[in-house]
Amino acid sequence: MCGIAGRVGPHAGSSSTIKRMTDSIVHRGPDDEGFYVSDGIELGMRRLAIIDLKGGKQPVSDESGKIQVVFNGEIYNYKALQDGLIKAGHTLKSNSDTEVIAHLYEDHGTNFISMLHGMFAIAIWDSNSNKLILIRDRFGKKPLFYQQNLTGGMDFASEIRALKYSDSSNFNSRNVNPSAINNLLTFGYIHSPDSVFTGIKSLPAGNFLEWKLGSVSEAKPYWAPPINVPEKWSEEEALDQVRKVVFDAVSERMVSERAMGTFLSGGIDSTVVTAIASKLHGKKIQTFSIGFQEKDYDESVYAENVAKYLGTDHKTLVVNPNPVEIIQDLAKTFDQPFADSSAVPTFILSKLARENIVVSLTGDGGDEIFSGYDRYRLVPQLDRLNSILRILEPFKNQISWASKNSNSRKLRSLSRHIIANKDFSSRYLHTMTLIPLAIRQELLNKEFINKDEIAKPESDFISLWNKLESRTSNKVEIMSNLDILTYLPGDILAKVDMTSMNNSLETRSPFLDYRVLDVASRIPHELRIKNGKSKYLLRKLACEFVPNELIDRPKMGFAIPRASWLRGPLKDVTYDLLTDQTCISRGWFNQASINQILKQHMSGIDQDILIWPLLMTELWARNWLDN
């Protein structure tokens, strides 16, 4: 695992510049550094040593030295790929997965990408054709940002902050991307290919691009989530397929020369991963969970029960964090605004784990791959809403007013569905939205963003839905694929990568193996959600390791007491940040709208879902623009 950076073009060739760039991401790789600098090209990396501790240095080249590679991530099938390369006559100098990439590219060009099992952000300099290639893994586990400059060159890095140290940086307030801020307020994250800066792009998951002779190609997809025809498997046959592929995915991710453990919440996904890892590990595996003193937000007891049953070496940290300090930590960690408040416990958990291990397995992706979210399970209810909405249509104004003055989440949800049209896709969109369009139109200043552009996140969402609907009529499959393409890389994986790597911790997610998704996409629809139970087959697999009563409980997620924090320990800092002259003069938000939202929340009507993204955006701006 590493942090990588580089520059190519007439402006490149400075060892001091590339070192400044990689020094800014030393948290991603505290163990070592490496550089390749020549006329017109700079490659750099910071290494977190996991495999081949002595020999796995980067950059790595082919035998001729004409192909240079820097790489962030892990190639889990590198041993098998090594064997094939040796049989083909290659001489390998190390036992690292990075060297495999150089030789595979030498033999197969960019077609080699499909051979990789793993998570990766790769940069390849091919001096034979003066070409730089950037590649991002299928699901977007590893980030990769790039910018083109006026000289025709290009810079890239694992994190935006590293681009600040390039001579051609777009890292200033004049280049803040209004569309990205709008997208953040809509969904809580900024979706690829956008970044918070107009001149900086994020390479989308499952894509690669090429720079050659001053020109950057469009990002090209090499993979997309499959929509397969369901197999005619019996329940036992389907369970057997799931069992085999998940075991294999966990097994591949157990290779490490550093201490390893798992994140354990006690839910289905982390329980399956931990149980299989324990079985394969051969001795007590270390597991980690956190809890809050507020019982409504504490699931540590469930993790402890599972850990006790599985016999793991478990550590629980029950926290009472200082909210002011933790949001400051997050604002420094995330180099673009991020509004998923579950980043708070994820950051704390990563810090706890890193005190004991260097590599952690996680259950990320289980919900998207195996239809685990409640919104998938409730598709029949959403389908039946049409008849109810027709009856309530004449009363939509009254219901809208009541929802704005109530803490009832059900009433607010009903109001959103009434406002949405009768298309299922629009109703699903409303379940995924943080700040609805009507409120954003009031919140965002017209001097900051054109009013006609404010609805773009919704129109892009519906366009992607329609594209997926042209391939399948199954709504759960559409929802799952849409989440894999947007919410998973933009929110879940960005959160885990930034919080874990800030603590120099590598996280591996067995469910985010394209072979697992391939099997899951062929499960008969009636076995994905059965008897009202989501993740039906994964749930059955979990029950092969632990009693059903340990995991048969409502899904909690990684929630925090956000509403009470904003009325209590975060009240003063929230008012200071969102109502002072600095925020007003920035000109992004309508101050009257912010004041009204704050007034409602402090009066007891929860508006934390609106306040949190505004607060984290302004706090980001103070850290990354004003400072």
Q: What percent of the chain has pLDDT over 70?
A: 92
Give the span between the Cα atoms of 223 and 16, in whole angstroms.
37
Q: What is the reported pLDDT for 558?
A: 78
- HEC sequence for 579-599: HCHHHHHHCCECHHHHHHHHH
Q: Which region among 91-95, 486-490, 615-619 has the lowest average model confidence (pLDDT)? A: 91-95
Model confidence at 395: pLDDT above 70: no
Please tell me the predicted confidence (pLDDT) of residue 532: 86
* Mean pLDDT, range 137-157, rounded to an integer: 94
Cis preceding linkage at 321, omega within 30:
no
Of the chain, the percentage scoring pLDDT greater than 90 comes to 79
Q: Which residues pair with 125 in a beta bridge?
A: 68, 132
374 compared with 43, residue with greater pLDDT = 43
Summarize the confidence of residues 498-515 as an average pLDDT: 98
Peptide bond into 193 cis (omega under 30): yes
Region 506-534 average pLDDT: 96
Plot region of 35 (φ>0 → left; ψ -120 to 50 → alpha; else → beta): beta
Residues of the chain with CATH 3.40.50.620: 235-372+487-550
Kindly tell me if the per-residue pLDDT of 28 is higher than 60: yes
**Strand ranges inside 266-399, DSSP E:** 286-292, 313-319, 359-361
Lowest mean pLDDT among 134-143, 238-247, 524-533: 524-533
Q: 573 phi and psi, to 5 degrees?
A: -65, -30
The reported pLDDT for the residue numbered 559 is 85
What is the average pLDDT across 233-255?
98
* Secondary structure of 463-493 in HEC code, one letter for each residue: HHHHHHHCCCCCHHHHHHHHHHHCHHHHHHH
Poorest-confidence range of 43-47, 193-197, 245-249, 371-375?
Answer: 371-375
pLDDT at 173: 64
pLDDT tier, 396 (very low <50, low <70, confident <90, very high otherwise): low
Higher pLDDT, 555 or 122: 122
In tens, the pLDDT along 265-285 reads 999 999 999 999 999 988 899
Is residue 407 pLDDT above 90, yes or no?
Answer: no
What pLDDT does residue 363 have? 97
pLDDT at 1 exceeding the cut of 80: no
Identity of the amino acid at 498: M
Q: What is the pLDDT of residue 14?
A: 86
CATH code of 235-372+487-550, in short, is 3.40.50.620
Measured between alpha carbons, how far is 569 from 456 in angstroms, rounded to an integer?
35
* 540 Cα distance to chain centroid: 27
What's the Cα-to-Cα distance from 294 to each of 382, 561, 564, rounded to whole Å? 32, 8, 11
Q: What was the pLDDT predicted at 151?
A: 80
Res 78: pLDDT:
95
Measured in residues, the chain has a length of 627
Q: Output 572 or 430, whichever has higher pLDDT.
A: 572
- Looking at residue 122, its pLDDT comes to 99
In contact, 432 and 187? CB cutoff 8 Å: yes
Whether 12 and 41 have beta carbons less than 8 Å apart is answered as yes
In this predicted model, what pLDDT tens digit does every residue of 589-599 receive, in sequence order? 999 999 999 99
Give the burial class of 309: count Cβ atoms within 10 A of its Cβ; 0-12 exposed, 13-18 middle, 19 or more buried.
Answer: middle
Phi-psi region of 589 (alpha: psi -120 to 50; beta: other; left: phi over 0): beta
Helix (H) or strand (E) holding 458: helix 456-469
Residue 382 pLDDT class (50, 70, 90 cuts)? low
pLDDT of residue 383: 66
Q: Which of 356, 364, 360, 352 is nearest to 277 (CA)?
A: 360
Identify the residue with better confidence: 403 or 377. 377
Res. 418: pLDDT tops 70: no
Average pLDDT of span 395-423: 60
pTM score, whole prediction = 0.94
**Where are the CATH 3.60.20.10 domain residues in the chain?**
2-221
- The predicted model gives 562-580 an average pLDDT of 97
Residue 585 has pLDDT above 70, yes or no: yes
Give the Cβ contact number of residue 547 at 10 Å.
Answer: 12
pLDDT digits (tens, 9 = 90+) for 199-223: 999 999 999 999 998 899 999 999 9
Residue 390 has pLDDT above 90, yes or no: no
Smallest Cα–Cα separation from 548: which of 564, 531, 572?
A: 531
Average per-residue pLDDT for the chain: 92
Q: What is the CATH number of domain 2-221?
A: 3.60.20.10
| 350 has a pLDDT exceeding 60 | yes
Condensed to tens digits (0 to 9), the pLDDT of residues 32-72 reads 999 999 999 999 999 999 988 887 889 999 988 999 999 99
* Residue 89 confidence (pLDDT): 92
